[in-house]
């Protein structure tokens, strides 16, 4: 199950990856909180069920999250992915999906939680930047880290160029982590992300280490 708010390029990367041979998972549905989210079209094109649930139709955050939870649970998903879902979620919602709710964030967490991550990386003079997939807990962008990918920031980079580069990394990260989960290799044990039974370092695994076989 994938939740989105916008263009859905990460959703597309997941759709494409899961369409590959031998995939252990499939996307049962896509929910957007915005009717004009282009990702809904991407899902429909792939034959995936879609729902729109506008937060503007609810009196408060808790009411929206309760309705969202009902929509999600009707699909009975094993895993829920936040792929550009631009909503802060209530603690009750997050607890309900503990261990099966993942987010992708455009920074090297714990740096730059929240919004405007690319500009903030530039403003702080960071030498590197990237993306992170993590388990979602009650703390915004603060749950146990699973996998990161880094890019170097070079002279002349601006927020737009960083966004483009980081997104290319995101399209690699999220499908890989989903494959781990689908193969029952990835778990949240207490407050630690574990892969193949072993704890993942608090700073997360690095895609570049995996690729070089470390």
Catalytic residues: 105
**170 sits near ligand GRF (criterion: CB under 6 A):** yes
155 burial type by CB count under 10 A (0-12 exposed, 13-18 middle, 19+ buried): exposed
Among 84, 143, 144, 175, binds ligand GRF (CB under 6 A): 84
Tell me how far apart the alpha carbons of residues 81 and 5 are, in angstroms, rounded to a whole number: 12
Handedness of CA 175, 78, 76, 91 (dihedral sign): negative
**9 sits near ligand GRF (criterion: CB under 6 A):** yes
How many other C-beta atoms can be found within 10 angstroms of the C-beta atom of residue 123?
10
108 burial type by CB count under 10 A (0-12 exposed, 13-18 middle, 19+ buried): buried
At 19 the three-state DSSP class reads coil
Q: In the complex, what is the shortest distance from the CB of residue 184 to ligand GRF, in angstroms, rounded to a whole number?
A: 25
Question: Considering beta carbons, is residue 159 or 194 the nearer one to ligand GRF?
Answer: 159
- Give the closest residue to 203 by CA, choosing from 152, 119, 118, 130: 130
Question: Considering beta carbons, is residue 174 or 181 the nearer one to ligand GRF?
Answer: 174
**10 sits near ligand GRF (criterion: CB under 6 A):** yes
**141 sits near ligand GRF (criterion: CB under 6 A):** no
**6 sits near ligand GRF (criterion: CB under 6 A):** yes
Residue 148-167 contact track with ligand GRF, rule CB under 6 A, x = bound: -------------------x
Question: Considering beta carbons, is residue 65 or 141 the nearer one to ligand GRF?
Answer: 141
Question: Which residues of this protein are in contact with ligand GRF, per CB under 6 A?
Answer: 4, 6-11, 39, 83-84, 104-106, 167, 170
């Amino acid at each position: 199950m994938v939740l989105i708010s916008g263009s859905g390029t990460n959703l597309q990367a997941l759709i494409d990856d899961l369409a590959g041979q031998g995939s252990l998972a499939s996307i049962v549905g896509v929910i957007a909180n915005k009717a004009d989210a282009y990702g809904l079209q991407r899902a429909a094109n792939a034959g995936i069920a879609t729902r729109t649930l506008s937060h503007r139709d609810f009196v408060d955050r808790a009411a929206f999250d309760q309705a969202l939870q009902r929509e999600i649970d009707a699909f009975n998903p094993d895993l829920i992915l936040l792929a550009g879902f631009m909503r802060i979620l209530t603690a009750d919602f997050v607890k309900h999906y503990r261990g099966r709710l993942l987010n992708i964030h455009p920074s090297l967490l714990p740096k730059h939680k929240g919004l405007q991550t690319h500009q903030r990386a530039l403003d702080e003079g960071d030498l590197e930047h990237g993306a992170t997939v993590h388990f979602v807990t009650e703390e915004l962008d603060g749950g146990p880290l699973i996998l990161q990918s880094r890019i170097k920031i070079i002279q002349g980079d601006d927020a737009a160029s960083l966004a483009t580069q980081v997104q290319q990394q995101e399209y690699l990260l999220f499908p890989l982590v989903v494959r781990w989960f689908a193969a029952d290799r990835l778990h949240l044990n207490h407050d630690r992300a574990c892969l193949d039974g072993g704890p993942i370092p608090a700073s997360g695994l690095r895609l570049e280490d995996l690729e070089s076989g470390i």
